Amino acid sequence: MANSHSFFASLNCPQQVTWTNDIKKMFTALDIAHMKPKGIDLSSYDSVKINAVPIYDQVSQGSMPPPGSGETPWSPAWVNTFACWIKQNCPQ
Ligand code: HEM
């Protein structure tokens, strides 16, 4: 469902979301360190933008960060902010 354009298009996103102000801080040092060897650099704007929809799928399902990693799943508000960033074409 998250792969469908209509899903993101239908979201209500009154706030402008940017990488610098909103998205960058959602990824912890632990997230970055664990995901870098797997080919996703969560500290990099370009890498997160290229992988944005798969990342959305993971965090919205609570699969990432993994249960048992010591981190808590993203809140619905964070998931929504990330979805709105995608809808707005991932502003830097
Ligand atoms: C396309 C997106 C992603 C994929 C396919 C993915 C895949 C994976 C895989 C395969 C592992 C290894 C799991 C294991 O060995 O048990 C892992 C570990 C991890 N990932 Fe991701 N991941 C994604 C996005 C994310 C995101 C967005 C976050 C943070 C918000 C994240 C945080 C972590 C952490 C913290 C670990 C280490 C867990 C641990 O060792 O306890 N990942 N990821």
pLDDT above 70 coverage of the chain, percent: 97
Q: If 0-12 CB within 10 Å is exposed, 13-18 middle and 19+ buried, where does residue 51 land?
A: middle
Question: Going by CA atoms, what residue is nearest to atom 14 of ligand 1?
Answer: 66
Q: What is the pTM of this model?
A: 0.94
**Assigned domain for 92 exists:** no
Do 81 and 17 form a contact (C-beta atoms < 8 A)?
yes
**What is the helix (H) or strand (E) element at residue 1, kind and residue range?**
none
Structural domain count, the chain: 1
Do 71 and 27 form a contact (C-beta atoms < 8 A)?
no
What is the Cα–Cα distance from 28 to 68, expressed in whole angstroms?
Answer: 15
Q: Tell me what the mean pLDDT of segment 30-52 comes to.
A: 98
**Assigned domain for 9 exists:** yes
pLDDT for residue 1 is more than 80: no
Question: Which residue range(s) make up the domain with 43?
Answer: 5-87
* Most ligand 1 atoms within 8 A of CB, residue of 30, 36, 47, 58 to mutate: 58
Q: Which residue has the higher pLDDT, 4 or 63?
A: 63
